[in-house]
Amino acid sequence: MATSPQPAPLTPRQHSGISRRLLLTATASALFFTATACGSAVNAEGGSSSDGLITLSMHNPDSKTQDPATWQLVQEFNKKHPDMKIKLEGQPVDQHEQRMTIAAQSGTLPEIFWVYDSLAKTMVKSDDLLDLGPILAENGLRAKFAPSMLAGFQQDGVQYGLPYQALVTGFYYNKTILDEHAIAVPETFDDLLAAVKKLKAAGVVPIAQGANNSSFSVWAFLTMLDRFGYEATYQDILSGKASYDNADFLRLYKHVEELAKAGAFPANMNTQTYAQAVASYTAGKAAFLDAGVWEAAKIQKTAVGKDTGFWAGPTFSDGVGDQKLVMNVPSAPFVVSAKVKEDKKKYAAVKAFLQFYYSDAGQKILVDNAQPPVTTYQPAVDAAKDSVFAAVLAEASKSGWKSPKAQPDLVVSAATASAMYDSFYGVMGGSLSPEEAVQNVQKTIK
């Protein structure tokens, strides 16, 4: 799930989960061994370092600026535990995935690392990952999590991962623009469609989207997929008992086509990137932005910050199942090398770091960096100072609303996830019919 400009690229999946076999190529091996031989793993401060009892390897080459919450957590841990110092390193997402895959094969995995869940599931089958159940059993750590935050990272009785950060997605909206055109914040799809038509007629871009090198940026539409029964259906689809090309999903894509024909998306959608779409919203040029919590702090600092709210997206009268859904799920996990158990000092350091990361003090650091907690920690957010982040948290915890267990693209292969992104953008841009869109995704499922 690629690299968006968010502090931690959570969802761009087009190259993730590549199979271990495919990565055993001369090119990939050369890249990996060149990087390790030259000591070029980049640490949190932009340099190279061999210091540290254990290594935390992330999917950002410069965590200090790209993922300040994790960077600060590591600094605080190192102050408290100088005898257990953590080296924080990272590479761009795709290179990181390759390195972790080949490191698993060569027995050189870092002690703790971030990885896409699809690759983690492959690693756990090969006994590359530590069962974190015993660590959760100590000091009441398991009780700090809602069951849904742990359930997605369990396989064959093994708790192979823990949530790195929470993924809350939907639409940011500009209250001033909506008020200027006498538009209430939508609730239903019909409300959204009517708003789109009114905004388009007034010369305002309704929804900021950017597909260029950013095909993953369809988060709000993935939530809509859950409102058409995806969560209850996807396992049957993957097993061949059902098909992505079904009447329910097709209705959703036809609704997306309705939005496109009504002018919901910018004329330059296919040539602008996600980052440019965000910039158009923060410049006050669009009424809505399809994004997630990672943009809250950035939006707050712009001219539209004081006017921005957050919306979980439309409900559908012809949807399937519960419509009161807001995407508030664990993102890709932290995992631990199984070899850690062979070294008492490293095992103790890993255990201490995880206990700190998920403590209230650790979760407060996430919140202070505009990231929602992944535990049951209740943050105190100044709604006057951080109104955008407060709006996201309020929407994510609305009474009577619930979250799917996982974002739809996080439970399928990389090829299928990429096809899902392209299917939505294809319909948005008019290059695919709804029928072609669902068929294209189904073709990737074997």
3-state secondary structure (DSSP) of residue 119: helix
- pLDDT (0 to 100) of residue 23: 34
Torsion over CA of 51, 52, 53 and 58, rounded to 10 degrees? Answer: -120
| CA angle, residues 376, 382, 383, in degrees to nearest 5 | 100
- pLDDT (0 to 100) of residue 326: 96
Burial classification of residue 384, based on how many CB atoms lie within 10 Å of its CB (0-12 exposed, 13-18 middle, 19 or more buried): exposed
Who wins on pLDDT, 105 or 41?
Answer: 105
Residue 315 bridge partners (DSSP): 188
- pLDDT (0 to 100) of residue 300: 95
- pLDDT (0 to 100) of residue 370: 87
What integer is the mean pLDDT of 94-114? 94
- pLDDT (0 to 100) of residue 60: 87
Burial classification of residue 194, based on how many CB atoms lie within 10 Å of its CB (0-12 exposed, 13-18 middle, 19 or more buried): middle
Task: Measure the CA–CA gap between 191 and 27, rounded to whole angstroms.
Answer: 51
pLDDT at 400 over 60: yes
Burial classification of residue 439, based on how many CB atoms lie within 10 Å of its CB (0-12 exposed, 13-18 middle, 19 or more buried): middle
**Residue whose tokens read 């914040």:** 185
Task: Measure the CA–CA gap between 417 and 116, rounded to whole angstroms.
Answer: 12
CATH topology of domain 168-328+384-444: D-Maltodextrin-Binding Protein; domain 2 (3.40.190)
Residues 6+ apart with CB under 8 A from 134: none
| Residue 156 burial (CB count, 10 A) | 8
| Residue 40 burial (CB count, 10 A) | 11
Asked if the domains 53-166+332-369 and 168-328+384-444 are classified in one and the same CATH topology, the answer is yes
pLDDT at 25 over 50: no
Per residue in 125-157, pLDDT tens? 999 999 999 999 999 999 999 888 998 899 999
| Residue 79 burial (CB count, 10 A) | 9
Which residue ranges make up each domain of the chain? 53-166+332-369, 168-328+384-444
Per residue in 274-289, pLDDT tens? 999 999 999 999 999 9
Rg of the chain over CA atoms, in angstroms?
A: 22
Residues 6+ apart with CB under 8 A from 46: 62, 64
Q: Are 329 and 405 in contact (CB under 8 A)?
A: yes
pLDDT at 14 over 50: no
- pLDDT (0 to 100) of residue 39: 34
Percent of the chain predicted with pLDDT > 90: 76
Per residue in 362-394, pLDDT tens? 999 999 988 899 999 988 888 889 999 999 999
Residues 6+ apart with CB under 8 A from 259: 192, 193, 196, 207, 265, 428
May I ask the CATH class of domain 53-166+332-369? alpha beta
- pLDDT (0 to 100) of residue 42: 41
Task: Measure the CA–CA gap between 14 and 1, rounded to whole angstroms.
Answer: 6
pLDDT at 343 over 90: yes
